[in-house]
Chains A and B, each alone.
Chain A
Amino acid sequence: MTPKRPWLAWLIVALGALLLIAPFYFTFVFATRPRTEIYSSPPPLWFGLSARSNLALLLERLPYWRNLGMSLYVAAMTTALNLLLCSLAGYAFAVYEFRGKNALFALVLGSMMLPSFLNMIPSFMVLDFLGWLDRPRGLYVPAAAGALGIFMMRQYIASAIPRDLIDAARMDGCGEFRVFRSIVLPLLGPALGTLGLITFITSWNNFVAPLVVMHSVENYTLPLALRSMQVPNNTEWGALMMGSAIAMLPLLVAYFFSARRLVAGLTSGAVKS
């Protein structure tokens, strides 16, 4: 069946897409405009010349590069830990037969259903007890092994890794961890890529956890730092939009190159269940 009026379909859907993209466009336009121009009538629709002065103002108000580094560090640690721990657990659930396996896997899935918000206060207290408040480990350790990641890796390993390969490696005298590290892990490339991106994006954008854990401005991640610049009646919008644009850019670029895989990965849990 061929669509009868493709241009009409396109027009409607493109208008919707435009509405969804417009705020991003304005973020980048405003990042190059001084505050006085952003709040003029009509508002600027095209890029201006103030990118440099906005950046200078941003760096004056915030330890922005440090905040960026903190976001990068937390996201990188969270991602690395998740790639290792989720693929290891996913491998165990996909390949081994062991007592309690089904119950344990049900627990993994069940943990996804718990509202994260229920845990906010007590996990804050646990982190306080451990002395991890205001430290990056207070953000990346609790998030080091996501249930969704384990589920994704299990699905992938079960469908993509031939059991014979694992048995053959064992025959050759490989230890259990060695089989995983040298035989299985190298074959997980695509799944690790998707999981890595999802984890990185989630960590990079996370607002609530850093809000509870991080207390000093030098340790703020980007979302917290940007929010702290918003003060009633005297917000430097140009500088703030510059900070926002820099924070969004790496994700938008990564997304541009991997959108199809990323969208498929994010919705895979939903579609298969």
Chain B
Amino acid sequence: MDATTPAALVAARKRRPLRARDVAPYVFVSPFFILFAVFGLFPLLFSAWLAVHEWDPAEGLKAMHFVGLENFRFVLTDPWFHRAVGNTLWLSVATALPQHLVALPLAAFVHEKIRRGRDLVVGAYFVPYITSSVAIALIFSTLLSRDYGAVNALLAELTRVPLLGSFMPDHPIDWLGDAHYAKPTVAFVVFWRYLGWNTVLYLSALQTISPELNEAATLDGASPVRRFFHVTVPLLRPMIYFAVTLSIIGSLQLFEEPFILVDIEQGVSQSVMTLAIFMYRLAFGEGDFGAASAVSWLVFALIVALAWLNARLFGREGRGE
């Protein structure tokens, strides 16, 4: 056989025995893709299927009836769904906005002013993020209890302080049992938990910014506040975009904090019922998997819409690139 003609070369390459090196990468990445197919992709497609079917799980898979968009109609006209959308958007804004408005200047401040012991500070701010949300919710419901909670005890002490005292409430506040306070209280706990995470994100982005830029601005006589708004913030724009995207995805799926902090049996739980809790109750409380799947897709659409809006505001397009 003449192995020098082009045709023979091509044939030889085609018939080249499959080496271990060609197969190995596929074998190595296959566990992820198998798991993703079974527990990620298939469920995703199945939930789209479920969303257009009516189904009683007690009767098995055969009892599924195609109902078209009926589940979506049912959900979209349900006043509880409207309430859940309102609550979720309220909580998203009330948790995400302060998180970033505090984390950004805090990170800039730590970056500029604190040299020694920075790890200690960062470490302390990050602790809530690595702690179980249940443990956090439990301690907060103790601290915020109406009658003997530490927060109300502190407020009661402060009423005795002149001047400041007149701003303090004259009766104990039922932080988690009163519909007026439950929402802001839940928002505070979420804010408290993720503040450190966002601060660390901004700090790590700040470390990649060359210090000369700030020094030059200082030499030009720019005040710290001006430097923050005209040097730091513009340079952090990509990170702001990323961190806000994470906040949007996370807060629209908010579940654990309101679920644990406010007892589901209590009437006040209505005021912190998020879309995730609404979906969970539809599926596992009422067994309506079709409608619950429709909710999950509506939430997904909401996430995509807000992420798109965020991309327009802070992403590449917003920067005119």
Report A's interface with B, CB cutoff 8 A. Answer: 1, 3, 6, 9-10, 12-14, 16-17, 19-21, 23-24, 26-27, 30, 38-43, 85-86, 88-89, 91-93, 96, 98, 101, 104, 107-108, 111, 113-126, 141-142, 144-145, 147, 150, 170, 175-177, 180, 201, 204-205, 207-208, 212, 222-224, 226-227, 230, 232, 237, 240-241, 244, 247-248, 251-252, 255-256, 259-260, 262-264, 266-267, 270-271, 273
Contact = CB atoms under 8 A, between A and B. Distances in A.
Contacts of A120: 279-280, 283, 296
Given A3-B115, A27-B135, A115-B299, 18 more contacts: A1-B215, A10-B114, A13-B106, A20-B192, A41-B148, A92-B26, A98-B22, A104-B33, A108-B32, A120-B296, A176-B24, A227-B260, A237-B142, A244-B134, A251-B131, A256-B123, A267-B200, A270-B204
Contact of A252 (B127, B201, B208): B127
A107 B29 CA distance: 12
Contacts of B200: 263, 266-267
Given A23-B143, A248-B132, A89 B29 contact: yes
A88 B28 contact: yes
Interface string B284-321: 10000100110011011001000000000000000000
Interface of B: 20-22, 24-26, 28-29, 31-33, 35-36, 38-40, 42-44, 46-47, 50, 106, 109-110, 112-115, 119, 121-136, 138-143, 145, 147-150, 153, 156-157, 192, 195-196, 200-201, 204-205, 208, 215, 218, 239, 242-243, 246, 249, 252-253, 255-256, 260, 263, 265-266, 276, 279-280, 283-284, 289, 292-293, 296-297, 299-300, 303
B121 A263 contact: no
B113, B147, B196, most chain A CB atoms within 10 A: B113
Contact of A118 (B133, B139, B297): B297
A259 B121 contact: no
Contacts of A39: 145, 147-148
14 contacts: A21-B127, A23-B128, A40-B148, A41-B153, A120-B283, A122-B50, A124-B283, A125-B289, A126-B43, A147-B32, A226-B138, A244-B135, A255-B130, A259-B123
Given A38-B142, A117-B279, A96 B24 contact: yes
Given A121-B47, A205-B133, A241-B142, A177 B303 contact: no
A271 B239 CA distance: 8
B57 to A, nearest CB: 8
